[in-house]
């Protein structure tokens, strides 16, 4: 979601239980309360980031600077964790290692650790665990979505087919679990296991709602909290606990990560509507009948005739370019893009406010830059 400064529209429902999920023990059922929050005026993102530190980096290179050497060490751990004597597996591993990506999640782990102490061996293991589990979920996602490309290159399933892709994803998952168990990092293992559970639940709920097309804003936030924000939050928590941060600080980092993850997903959802010309294909979510915040808000604020017209398009199994263009125009005309930007910015401001309570450091400045990068990125 995006967030522009200004008053939030009325009827703004926020799932408080999911935004503060850290209070839920791992094996307890999810709270059922869904309440509407009281919206208070927040500072703009520029003001919020200035509360953190004077010099806030705006590029990924600048953001990584405080942990540049740590990232090199993390990569060594990551390569070591993926080592195998099976020739086929090794070929796939080498292919994966060549696709570095942005590595935002391990960077989050390392920066979170630097906020409270010196990066340790446990921090590197936490970053490697995050990246192993994240890579496994992406590979499984590509199988489910029948995606032939990932980050501009051929996906694993495009080159080695579905069966091998699923097994390779399982291999990465097992390597991550074994890495944590080998060193007795049970707190890291619990954190990541809870994130994986929530990611699975979020994906399944989204599939269910895509079939029924009955998703509202409250359910949307529940879905993205589970399927996206849970892993981002696990990154910030893992970094904090790896250096022995106090429990109250760990709880704050969990909430901050959750806010950041929600903002991250809304940004992705805006890309699907051609926002900011991201260079990504437009309308992928619409083709898959996934209702995201810009469309959900627009449908709730449109007249009955317009709403029925758009829903007829959404229900079609095949959508033409004209169909997609009609939905995009509808969303823009009914304020869906602007509303999503407003919500995204509010979430980023919330994350910045929590970060401002942490001790001043280069890591805090870099984390502030990463929060802003998340909502301003072009892809």
Q: What is the CATH number of the domain that holds 156?
A: 1.10.600.10
Residue at 61 is within a domain:
yes
Arithmetic mean of pLDDT over the chain: 84
In this model, does residue 312 exceed pLDDT 90? yes
In this model, does residue 14 exceed pLDDT 90? no
* Long-range contacts from 309-316, C-beta under 8 angstroms, 24+ separation: 311/213, 314/213, 314/286, 314/289, 315/213, 315/289
Q: Which tens digits make up the pLDDT trace of 244-258?
A: 999 999 999 999 999
Could you write out the DSSP letters of every residue in 76-139?
HHHHHHT--S-HHHHHHHHHHHH-----HHHHHHHHHHHTTS---HHHHHHHHHHHHHHHHHHH
pLDDT value at position 16? 31
Question: How many structural domains is the chain composed of?
Answer: 1
Q: Which tens digits make up the pLDDT trace of 45-54?
A: 444 444 445 5
Lowest mean pLDDT among 130-144, 308-322, 352-366: 130-144
Residue at 302 is within a domain:
yes
Contact 254, 135 (CB under 8 A): no
Tell me the pLDDT band of 77, cut-offs 50, 70 and 90: confident
Contact 66, 119 (CB under 8 A): no
Residue at 263 is within a domain:
yes
Mean per-residue pLDDT, 218-231: 96
Residue at 8 is within a domain:
no
Residue at 251 is within a domain:
yes
Residue at 10 is within a domain:
no
Residue at 118 is within a domain:
yes
Structural domain containing residue 301: 16-376
In this model, does residue 237 exceed pLDDT 90? yes
What's the CA gap between 170 and 189, in Å, rounded?
Answer: 16
Residue at 365 is within a domain:
yes
pTM of the model: 0.82
What's the CA gap between 35 and 45, in Å, rounded?
Answer: 25
pLDDT value at position 242? 97
In this model, does residue 93 exceed pLDDT 80? yes
């Amino acid at each position: 979601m995006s967030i522009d400064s200004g008053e939030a529209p009325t009827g703004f429902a926020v799932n408080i239980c999911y935004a503060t999920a850290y209070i839920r023990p791992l094996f307890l059922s999810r709270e059922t309360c869904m309440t509407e929050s009281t919206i208070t005026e927040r500072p703009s993102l520029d003001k919020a980031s200035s509360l953190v530190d004077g010099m806030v980096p705006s590029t990924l290179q600048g953001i990584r600077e405080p942990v540049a050497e740590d990232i090199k060490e993390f990569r060594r751990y990551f390569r070591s964790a993926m080592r195998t004597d099976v020739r086929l597996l090794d070929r796939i591993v080498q292919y994966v290692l060549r696709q570095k990506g942005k590595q935002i999640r391990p960077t989050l782990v390392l920066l979170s650790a630097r906020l409270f102490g010196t990066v340790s061996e446990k921090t590197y293991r936490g970053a490697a665990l995050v990246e192993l589990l994240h890579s496994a979920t992406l590979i499984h996602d590509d199988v489910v979505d029948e995606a032939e490309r990932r980050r501009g290159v051929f996906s694993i399933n495009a080159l080695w087919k579905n069966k091998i892709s699923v097994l390779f994803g399982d291999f990465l998952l097992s390597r991550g679990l074994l890495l944590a168990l080998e060193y007795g990092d049970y707190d890291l293992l619990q954190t990541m296991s809870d994130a994986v559970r929530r990611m699975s639940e979020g994906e399944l709920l989204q599939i269910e709602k895509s079939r029924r097309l009955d998703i509202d804003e409250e359910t949307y936030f529940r879905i993205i909290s589970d399927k996206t924000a849970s892993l981002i939050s696990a990154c910030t928590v893992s970094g904090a606990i790896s250096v022995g941060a106090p429990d109250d600080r760990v709880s704050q980092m969990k909430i901050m990560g959750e806010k950041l993850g929600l903002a991250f997903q809304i940004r992705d959802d805006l890309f699907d509507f051609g926002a900011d010309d991201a260079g990504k294909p437009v309308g992928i979510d619409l083709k898959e009948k996934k209702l995201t915040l810009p469309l959900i808000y627009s449908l709730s604020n449109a007249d009955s005739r317009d709403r029925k017209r758009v829903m007829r398009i959404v229900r079609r199994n095949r959508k033409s370019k004209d169909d997609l263009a009609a939905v995009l125009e509808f969303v823009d005309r009914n304020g869906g893009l602007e509303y999503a930007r407003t919500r995204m910015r509010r979430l980023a401001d919330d994350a910045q406010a929590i970060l401002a309570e942490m001790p001043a450091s280069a890591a805090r400045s870099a984390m502030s830059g990463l929060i802003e990068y998340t909502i301003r990125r072009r892809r």
